């Protein structure tokens, strides 16, 4: 009650009357967020913990690094030193690439909250000549404490020792509490307070098993912010999300709206079990909300490289970058897209049956011919492939499509045209 009507959005070259009545944009509404919130890419660390992916060769990791830089991603986790000598070699090479190319992207590495792991990272940093943020992680929920036979006193002791050691060796520290979304308030207050007093300049709130809902995100972050403000208001807050309940994007957007300083994500959402917040989908949504300024023209290349280098297939119906994202063979939908295209308005064609403009990510609408197609599909296909469209040919192709339980391939359509000729 009392809210103003939603705003409407005109398309680029459409008539003066608005074409889209946008219920997402109530007049006066502003998406709450930190003005300088950042993105942290976890593809090359947390993403590679999926048992289904391949560890990419170094050359492809370096290509991904440069794509992240081009996309304006602010930070990335370049590996887990404790994973072995190969991991250390790759971490050093990625760190050296950032240093030699004077890249803006800032590296971090995941380490357990134990001295030996941090010593390994210090050695890497000394060898490369770059300071990397230590993402020191430790379990926080009662269920983890029970399974591991940990006491809170022991967790606090490990936290103070590890964070202090990293700070003494000039490493910036992000203190990461695993399973934060199932941890008790008094435990989180004790852990975060100890880490911040020991010198951590950033804390990370983790939904490690994808437990929380957007309401829980708001409640938890309100509490965490109150703890941080009590100890040191300058400490920054990160959000790390998993997708076990399919809530990764809405939860991460809720975290941004709740005022976190940085959010974590991976290409294609790769990661353990059901994966992490997908960086590509997140960036598209942030762009549509007006929260990202830079172009997304490299995002498709990023997605395809993550797919090929990790052996992760892109599902056909994957949002924005799946094969079917801007593809239709349905008569009614195709007719509307074709009519929009023939008005000479690309923005109109991109919006009439699509919530994401294909052109924003370097893609285009694709009209095909299948068993649910109509004459518009066939007319447009023939026209865009350089053929004339006499009524008898259109009818022959349409009849063949109706008798085939899938979309016709380009080769099949060309064979029909040749046979008809």
pLDDT of 337-379, one tens digit each?
889 888 888 888 888 889 999 999 999 889 999 999 999 999 9
The alpha carbon dihedral of 329, 334, 335, 341 has a sign of negative
Q: 91, 77 in Cβ contact below 8 A?
A: no
**Predicted pLDDT of residue 64:** 98
Q: Domains of the chain, with CATH numbers?
A: 38-310 (3.20.20.70), 327-420 (no CATH)
**Predicted pLDDT of residue 390:** 93
Low-confidence ranges of the chain (pLDDT < 70): 1-18, 28-30
278 has which bridge partners?
266
d(Cα 234, Cα 236) in Å, to the nearest integer?
6
| Residue with token string 């060898």 | 127
pTM: 0.92
**Predicted pLDDT of residue 338:** 87
Question: Residue 391: is it exposed, middle or buried by C-beta count within 10 angstroms (0-12/13-18/19+)?
Answer: exposed
**Predicted pLDDT of residue 17:** 57
**Predicted pLDDT of residue 31:** 74
d(Cα 93, Cα 78) in Å, to the nearest integer?
10
pLDDT of 111-150, one tens digit each?
999 999 999 999 999 999 999 999 999 999 999 999 999 9
d(Cα 107, Cα 96) in Å, to the nearest integer?
11
**Predicted pLDDT of residue 190:** 98
**Predicted pLDDT of residue 15:** 56
Measured from the Cβ of residue 144, the count of other Cβ atoms closer than 10 Å reads 18
Helices (H) and strands (E) in the chain, counts: 15, 12
**Predicted pLDDT of residue 148:** 95
Residue % of the chain over a pLDDT of 70: 95
Average pLDDT, rounded, for the chain: 93
Q: Which of 87, 83, 175, 171 is nearest to 125 (CA)?
A: 171
């Amino acid at each position: 009650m009392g809210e103003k009507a939603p705003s409407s959005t005109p398309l680029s070259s459409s008539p003066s009357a608005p074409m889209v009545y946008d219920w997402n944009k109530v007049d006066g509404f502003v998406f709450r967020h930190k003005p300088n919130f950042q993105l942290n890419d976890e593809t090359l660390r947390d993403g590679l913990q999926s048992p289904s992916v391949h560890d990419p060769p170094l050359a492809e990791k370096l290509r991904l690094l440069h794509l992240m830089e081009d996309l304006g991603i602010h930070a990335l986790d370049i590996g887990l030193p404790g994973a072995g000598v190969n991991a250390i070699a790759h971490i050093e090479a990625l760190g050296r690439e950032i240093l030699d190319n004077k890249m803006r992207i800032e590296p971090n590495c995941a380490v357990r909250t134990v001295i030996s792991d941090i010593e390994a990272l210090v050695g890497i940093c000394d060898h490369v000549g770059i300071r990397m943020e230590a993402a020191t992680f430790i379990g926080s929920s009662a269920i983890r404490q029970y399974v591991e036979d940990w006491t809170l006193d022991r967790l606090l002791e490990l936290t103070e020792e590890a964070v202090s050691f990293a700070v003494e060796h000039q490493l910036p520290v992000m203190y990461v509490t695993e399973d934060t979304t199932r941890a008790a308030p008094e435990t989180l207050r004790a852990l975060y307070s100890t880490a911040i007093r020991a010198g951590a300049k950033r804390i990370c709130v983790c939904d490690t098993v994808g437990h929380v809902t957007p309401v829980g995100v708001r409640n938890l972050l309100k509490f965490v912010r109150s703890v941080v403000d009590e100890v040191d208001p300058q400490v920054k807050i990160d959000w790390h999300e998993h997708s076990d309940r399919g809530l990764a994007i809405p939860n991460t957007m809720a975290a941004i709206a709740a005022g976190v300083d940085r959010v974590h994500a991976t290409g294609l959402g790769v990661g353990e079990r059901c994966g992490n917040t997908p960086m590509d989908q997140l960036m598209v949504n942030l762009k549509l909300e007006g929260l990202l300024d830079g172009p997304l023209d490299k995002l498709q290349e990023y997605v395809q490289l993550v797919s090929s280098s990790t052996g992760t297939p892109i599902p056909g119906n994957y949002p924005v970058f799946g094969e079917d994202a801007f593809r239709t063979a349905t008569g009614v939908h195709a007719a509307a897209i074709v009519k929009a295209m023939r008005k000479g308005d690309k923005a109109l064609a991109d919006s009439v049956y699509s919530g994401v403009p294909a052109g924003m990510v370097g893609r285009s609408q694709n009209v095909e011919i299948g068993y649910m197609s109509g004459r518009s599909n066939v007319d447009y296909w023939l026209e865009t492939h350089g053929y004339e469209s006499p009524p008898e040919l259109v009818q022959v192709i349409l009849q063949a499509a109706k008798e085939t339980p899938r979309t016709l391939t380009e080769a099949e359509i060309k064979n029909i045209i040749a046979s008809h000729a």
